[in-house]
Structure 1
Amino acid sequence: MVKPRRIGVLTSGGDCAGLNAVLRAVVHRAVEGFGWQVVGIHNGTAGLLARPVEAETLELNVFDGNLLRRGGTILGTTNKGDPFDYPMPDGSRVDRSNEVIEGYRALDLDALIGIGGDGSQAILQRLAQQGGIDLITIPKTIDNDLGHTEVSVGYDTAVKVATDAMDQLQPTAASHSRVMVLEVMGRDAGHIAIAAGIAGGADVILIPEIGYSLEGIAAKIESLKARGRNFALVIVAEAVKTETGEAVRQRQGDGSFTYGGIGHYLAERIAAVTGSETRITVLGHLQRGGPPTDRDRLMGSVFGVYAVDLIAAGRFDRMVAWNNRQVVDIPIADAIAGYQAVDVDGPLVHTARGLGVYLGEGIGE
């Protein structure tokens, strides 16, 4: 008898909605389609660093009807601890990549599916090349900034959460004659802000790709007042800088810095230059949680099945992608090298401007 294949799967980087749909698809396709075993690795590469390795066999009965609807990832994930530059308790940094590879070998796996964004995929590919690991990756990022794929798992849910927030803010803005500022995630790209801004009827949309001025924002708000509107909706991506080009960041307990604070900065200045009463809402990690949308469940299922099929075909070092209404695969190197910012000449920017939205005056850095 031929020994059934054992494939590993892990989630890496920030969590998002739709990851459990991917895991469900991988297990169903591998087990029911090919009779393979699937090993779920806990907490990304951190699970492979643990001794004993933190992993479990994923059986079909784990994926009842509820998991498809749950946000997050049942395997856990991490966006810290690069194994090639791992921070130690004494403050030193060491290369622990061989330990990760040894952990993978200890599981007796034939291939690995890694679900992550550009940073996670870069690390996984480097580990695969060093350790001779047959690797397939699946794009996961609410920022939707991975190149060569029109869709990444988690993006659609993040946009829906932001759009829902706009829907909730509009009535209270109108009731109190206020300017509502909504800060959304977007590490370096404004995909969430522009999509939710258009869908949610924003009057001002600020994204990292396009520069702006406080005078321009104020002029838009004053024009709304002139035609009888008593409120305005502003949406801003967290990576947007001040009008003088300074990044707004928050220091974390471990000494690192994360984006956050541009919404408060803008609310204060809008109030000062327009005299409007302003309020700020920061969605933060609300965009990562909650039940995945139908689109994220669908794309997660498509990607998971296709990833297993790539393993069956012996095609490795590939990322699953969605292009022109088709599931395809591309070299991982191409995917992580092809950063996808908002196209400043693209249809969403054109649509926003056509709707009279203030989107800035120039191209950002």
Structure 2
Amino acid sequence: MRIGILTGGGDCPGLNAVIRAVVRTANGRYGDSIVGFRDGWRGLLEDRKVQIQNDDRIDRLLTKGGTMLGTARVNPDKLQAGIEQIKQTLDDNGVEVLIPIGGEGTLTAARWLSESGVDVVGVPKTIDNDIDCTDVTFGHDTALTIATDAIDRLHTTAESHQRVMLVEVMGRHAGWIAVNAGLASGAHLTLIPEQPFDVDEVCRLVKRRFQHGDSHFICVVAEGATPKAGSMTLREGGIDEFGHKIFTGVAQQLGDEIQRRIGKEVRTTVLGHVQRGGTPTPYDRILATRFGVQAAEAAHAGKYGVMVALHGTTIDLVPLAEATRQLKTVPTDRYREAAAFFG
């Protein structure tokens, strides 16, 4: 069998571990050949490929962040319009099964291909942990570890200067990094996209903490957090070429508003791409490896149109149509657990 593989969307710790696992399983167990397409779906549209060998270089991928194949974003309309071109590229290269590794956009494109007759096995990745039908995605644990370590460090400098610290983390539509990092680091408030915040309430919590004699206030803010209507107005950033909302820095704008309203010194830290760079944690290496092994096994079992998923401690297969129906967001009761420590 000849298997194609690509990594789409944003980079994520653990991508290389999946590639390694697919190659070692498919080639080592079944003698398959593996062709990688460079820069995600763009590589398929432009027929840019590389033969991946099962050698020492593959083994060294386990601990390496990023992706050996490169990645890129493609406008969804362009991608959907290029389905026939993608199918032609797969045929020209003798690819019998495609294993795309990616988030919501990549898995949606995988579903489109599956519906048009291509044999596909998807692998979910995202540091945001917002892919439905799987308990967790690889990359999230690494991002959470990095964010928690950063907030731990900010506690000490905030205490020293009696400051309010706002820490902006990734999370466009889902606040999993924020809510988990807030809990893990003992933050005094967490703001997520699923729960619009009231600036007056934020200011009340800040003032109350200092009035009680505490020396600092740490607030974790997901990049997609938004204020309640009438609470404050965020600058508009428009929409980028991929159909994504352009964020304008909610933490900095909230910090300015807090400082204006209550006169307390505020500092903002934006963690940004630091969260998804570097070496994956052991948990993410293991999960990514298990996903890769099971994706290769599914390909040989003829189980297509599916995504590998973690349920408890077991790797299962779920239909791509089901996995891409909606995003997995933070439920209200989960946020209420975190809210017990606010203030």
Q: Report the TM-score, using the length of structure 1 for normalisation.
A: 0.88
Instruction: Determine if contact 1:318/1:331 at 8 Å carries over to the other structure.
Output: yes
Write the distance in 2 (CA, Å) between the matches of 1:302 and 1:122.
Answer: 22
Aligned to 1:361: none
C-alpha deviation, 1:117, in angstroms: 1.1
Paired residue secondary structure (1:115): strand
Does residue 113 of structure 2 align to residue 127 of structure 1? Answer: yes
Alignment of 1:160 with 2:145, yes or no, is yes
Deviation track 1:20-46 (CA, whole Å, cap 9, x = no partner) reads 011111011111111111111111111
Task: Tell me if 1:142 matches 2:127.
Answer: yes
Q: Distance in 2 between matches of 1:345 and 1:188?
A: 17
Do the aligned residues in 2 keep the contact of 1:72 with 1:289 (CA within 8 Å)?
yes
1:289 aligns with 2:277: yes
Q: Does 1:193 align with 2:187?
A: no
Q: Is the 8 A contact 1:29 1:305 kept in 2?
A: yes
Deviates more, 1:265-274 or 1:293-302: 265-274
* 1:57 pairs with one of 44, 51, 54: 51
How many aligned residue pairs are there?
Answer: 340
In 2 relative to 1, CA 9–64 (structure 1 residues): closer, same or farther, beyond 3 Å? closer
Please say if 1:95 is aligned against 2:88: no
- Evaluate the alpha carbon distance shift between residue 345 and residue 232 of structure 1 in structure 2; reply closer, same or farther with a 3 A threshold: same
1:48 aligns with 2:44: yes
TM-score of the pair, normalised by structure 2:
0.93
Q: Deviations over 1:1-30 (max 9, x none)?
A: xxxx11011111111111001111101111
Contact (CA 8 Å) 1:250, 1:261: kept in 2 or not?
A: no
The superposition leaves residues 183-223 of structure 1 with CA deviations (integer Å, 9 ceiling, x where unpaired) of: 11101011010000111111010011113212211221122
Letter in 2 for 1:17: P
For residues 177-256 of structure 1, what are the structure 2 equivalents within 5 Å? 177-244=162-229, 250=237
Q: Secondary structure at the match of 2:173?
A: coil
SS at match of 1:271: helix
Higher mean displacement: 258-267 or 23-32: 258-267
Q: 1:328 aligns with which of 299, 303, 316?
A: 316
- Do residues 305 (structure 1) and 305 (structure 2) align? no
Bigger drift between 241-250 and 110-119 goes to: 241-250
| Match among 310, 317, 333 for residue 305 of structure 2 | 317
Identity %: 37
Task: Give 5+ residue unaligned stretches, structure 2.
Answer: none
Q: Deviations over 1:50-108 (max 9, x none)?
A: 1xx211111122545542111111101112233x436xxxxxxx922221211111110
Match of 2:63 among 69, 75, 80: 69
Once residues 351 and 169 of structure 1 are traced to their aligned partners in structure 2, the CA distance between those partners, rounded to angstroms, is: 23
Contact 2:41-2:74 at 8 Å conserved across structures = no
Q: CA deviation at 1:248?
A: 5.0
For 1:102-121, list aligned pairs within 5 A: 102-121=88-107
Moved more, 198-207 or 66-75: 66-75
Structure 2 residue 342 is the aligned partner of structure 1 residue 353:
no
Matched-pair contact (CA < 8 Å) for 2:197–2:226: no
Q: Where do 5+ consecutive residues of structure 1 fail to align?
A: 87-93, 359-365
CA change 1:38–1:248 in 2 (3 A) is: farther
